[in-house]
């Protein structure tokens, strides 16, 4: 199984919210064991999907407001609730709302829904690994991850509604 738990990002509004989608397929490895004969997407993987979306929201927000590239890393998860099973083929729509932000970290509240039904909710804090004082990763690794994240982003964000538009940020970065 690959570890990208978002199929697509539909919308990001910097400083406000992001919407993403994950549709777990019956062919995902974990369904074989979780559970045999009764496939259910593991709650921890829903949390990871929430964290990945929130990470994109935070990175986009910091890029839009400060023109700074950061790598968000999951620090805390609070009040995670798994309300209903997610089954193969369910289209899970995740909404992450920015609750608070400072130079070192951001806090998000995330809701996952299948249709009208809320399947999971959680709050989480992600810290920013960036070049300089707050950096934990070796610079070379971080650079590598940035270029990887940019490539993944391009695919994930195709057709997404972005505020401000990505081109505006890229133009400013040049």
Partner 1 sequence: MSSMTNSAEEVMKIRQTADRVLATREDEIVTKVRQAVAEVLGREEEEIQPSASLIKDLNAESLDFLDLLFRLESAFGIKIPRGGIQRATQGSLTDAEFQQNGILTEAALDRLRILMPEVDPARLQPGLTVRDIPSLFTSITFARLVAWRIGEQPADAPNAAGAAAAENKA
What is the size of the binding site for partner 1 (CB under 8 A)?
20
Task: Let me know if 144 is a catalytic residue.
Answer: no
Q: Is 61 in the site for partner 1 (CB under 8 A)?
A: yes
Q: Is 127 in the site for partner 1 (CB under 8 A)?
A: yes
The interface region with partner 1, picked from 29-37, 79-87, 103-111, 153-161 by CB under 8 A, is: 103-111
Catalytic residue selected from 7, 10, 13, 34: 34
Q: Which is nearer to partner 1, 14 or 41 (CB)?
A: 14
Helix orientation angle between 139-156 and 43-66, rounded to the nearest 10 degrees: 100
Strand order in the sheet with 161-163: 71-82, 117-129, 105-114, 92-101, 17-22, 8-13, 161-163
First-to-last C-alpha distance (Å) of the chain: 36
Q: Which is nearer to partner 1, 67 or 154 (CB)?
A: 67
Neighbours of 48 (CB within 10 A): 18
C-alpha 16/C-alpha 161 separation (Å) is 13
Q: Is 39 in the site for partner 1 (CB under 8 A)?
A: no
| Distance, CA of 73 to chain centre | 10
Contact residue for partner 1 among 26, 35, 104, 148 (CB under 8 A): 104
The binding track of 77-96 with respect to partner 1, each residue x by CB under 8 A or -, is --------------------
Collapsed DSSP state (helix, strand, coil) of residue 38: coil
Q: Which is nearer to partner 1, 98 or 157 (CB)?
A: 98
Contact residue for partner 1 among 22, 56, 107, 142 (CB under 8 A): 107
Q: What share of the chain is helix, strand, coil (3-state, %, to 5)?
A: 30, 35, 35
Residue with tokens 């810290």: 127
Q: Is 168 in the site for partner 1 (CB under 8 A)?
A: no
**Positions that interact with partner 1 (CB under 8 A):** 14-16, 61, 65-66, 75-76, 98-107, 125, 127
Catalytic site positions? 34
């Amino acid at each position: 199984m690959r570890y990208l738990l978002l199929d697509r990002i539909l919308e990001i509004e910097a400083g406000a919210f992001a919407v993403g989608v994950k549709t777990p397929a019956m062919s995902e490895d974990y369904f074989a064991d979780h559970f045999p004969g009764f496939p259910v997407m593991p709650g921890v993987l829903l949390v990871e999907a929430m964290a990945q979306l929130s990470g994109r929201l935070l990175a986009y927000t910091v890029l839009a407001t400060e023109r700074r590239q950061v790598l968000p890393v999951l620090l805390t998860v609070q009040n995670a609730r798994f309300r209903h099973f997610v089954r193969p083929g369910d289209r899970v729509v995740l909404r992450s709302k920015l609750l608070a932000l400072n130079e070192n970290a951001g806090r998000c509240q995330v809701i996952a829904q299948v249709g009208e039904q809320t399947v999971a909710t959680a709050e989480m804090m992600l810290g920013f690994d960036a070049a300089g004082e707050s950096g934990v990763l070796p610079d070379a690794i971080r650079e590598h991850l940035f270029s990887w994240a940019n490539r993944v982003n391009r695919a994930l964000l195709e057709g997404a509604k972005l505020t401000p538009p990505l081109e505006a940020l890229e133009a400013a970065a040049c």
